[in-house]
């Protein structure tokens, strides 16, 4: 959560439980220039006062924002680069940090850190998870900033219009591929990052279809869907879903097998696309699709 001297706020730390208390501490920290680790719990006399009547405990690290570090984070988010930061929470180095990019290179290190401590914190930040560790006698918080997931829509259909809106709300990048220019227009799809008016066999090889890519094939047209699936199934995309009935998909499987696609690859296709929530309208179907994508992304499906 960001707070400035005028009490303008962005984000939150607890969904509302302790916001007022944290804001007061943040304003004080802006004056002192010194970071502070706050702890609240139901066993504390202040639990009800700060809003933890729902139970549990919470620790909040409050600090003046290092401007150079923030510029680094902001640029990384714009460039869609994965980052991880290791921040010291206590002792004489409280507030010191090291940030590494997804490839392990150090992109920021607090100037007061020794080379040895910089290397130590960089090694901790390179671990692929967020959490708290004890490092060289200090409590260190590791915070991973993931790349934005990339939703690739094959087909400018009505369900895709709803998908783009929900996907943007979830922070996804969205690419729409459809050779039919009348379907794939900025007027119909104002929220997509990129529209490619080409057949999938020409468009998909130009995209980075890695573990952050999620592909939804939506057109019902074999001339578009089949080439899209042949390329998608050879990629590292995390998710490949097809909007289809079971009978139509069986015919599709026969065509893809005849084209040389293996049973192992075909097993990656998720169809009927989306979680079974009884969806009927385009908006409900879009919700079901994104629910399944989120489940896959978080290891629940």
Domains and CATH numbers, the chain: 2-62 (no CATH), 67-145 (no CATH), 150-297 (3.40.50.720)
**Which residues are 108's β-sheet partners?**
99
Residue pair 133/140 in contact by the 8 Å Cβ criterion? yes
pLDDT at position 19 is 83
**Which residues are 12's β-sheet partners?**
none
Close Cβ partners of 90 (under 8 Å, ≥ 6 residues apart): 37, 138, 139
pLDDT at position 82 is 92
Close Cβ partners of 261 (under 8 Å, ≥ 6 residues apart): 229, 230, 233
pLDDT at position 208 is 92
Strands (E), 117-167: 131-135, 138-145, 150-154
Residue pair 22/51 in contact by the 8 Å Cβ criterion? no
pLDDT at position 128 is 78
Q: What is the pLDDT of residues 128-160, one digit of tens each?
A: 789 999 999 999 999 999 899 999 999 999 999
Q: What is the pLDDT of residues 197-235, one digit of tens each?
A: 999 999 999 999 999 999 999 999 999 999 999 999 999
From residue 296, alpha-carbon distances to 15, 182, 279, 290 in Å are 25, 32, 19, 10
Looking at every residue in the chain, the average pLDDT score rounds to 92
Q: Are strands 150-154 and 173-177 parallel, antiparallel or unpaired?
A: parallel
Q: What is the pLDDT of residues 238-260, one digit of tens each?
A: 999 999 998 999 999 999 999 99
Predicted structure pTM score? 0.81
Q: What is the pLDDT of residues 105-127, one digit of tens each?
A: 999 999 999 999 999 999 999 98
pLDDT at position 54 is 60
Q: What is the pLDDT of residues 153-206, one digit of tens each?
A: 999 999 999 999 999 999 999 999 999 999 999 999 999 999 999 999 999 999
Residue pair 181/207 in contact by the 8 Å Cβ criterion? no
pLDDT at position 169 is 94
């Amino acid at each position: 959560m960001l707070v400035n001297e005028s009490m303008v706020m962005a984000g939150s730390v607890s969904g509302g439980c302790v916001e007022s208390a944290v804001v007061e501490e943040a304003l004080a920290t802006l004056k002192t220039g010194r970071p502070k680790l706050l702890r609240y719990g139901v066993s504390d006399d202040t639990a009800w006062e700060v809003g933890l009547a729902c139970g549990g405990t919470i620790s909040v690290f409050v600090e003046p924002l290092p401007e150079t570090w923030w510029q680094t984070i902001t640029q990384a988010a714009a460039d869609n680069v994965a980052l991880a930061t290791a921040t010291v929470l206590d002792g004489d180095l409280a507030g010191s940090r090291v940030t590494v990019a997804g490839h392990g290179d150090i992109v920021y290190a607090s100037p007061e850190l020794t080379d040895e401590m910089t290397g130590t914190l960089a090694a901790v930040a390179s671990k692929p998870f967020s959490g708290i560790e004890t490092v060289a006698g200090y409590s260190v918080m590791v915070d991973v900033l993931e790349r934005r997931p990339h939703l690739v829509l094959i087909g400018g259909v009505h369900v895709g219009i709803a998908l783009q809106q929900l996907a943007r709300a979830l922070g996804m990048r969205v690419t729409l591929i459809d050779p039919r220019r009348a379907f794939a227009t900025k007027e119909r799809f104002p929220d997509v990052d990129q529209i490619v008016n080409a057949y999938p066999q020409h468009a998909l090889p130009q995209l980075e279809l890695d573990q952050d890519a999620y592909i939804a094939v939506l057109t019902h047209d074999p001339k578009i869907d089949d080439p899209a699936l042949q390329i998608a199934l050879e990629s590292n995309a995390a998710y490949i879903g097809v909007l289809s009935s079971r009978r139509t998909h069986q015919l599709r499987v026969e065509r893809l097998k005849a084209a040389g696609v293996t049973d192992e690859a075909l097993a990656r296709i998720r169809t009927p696309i989306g979680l079974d929530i009884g969806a009927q309208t385009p908006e409900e179907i879009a919700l079901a699709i994104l629910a399944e994508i989120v489940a896959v992304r978080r290891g629940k499906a």
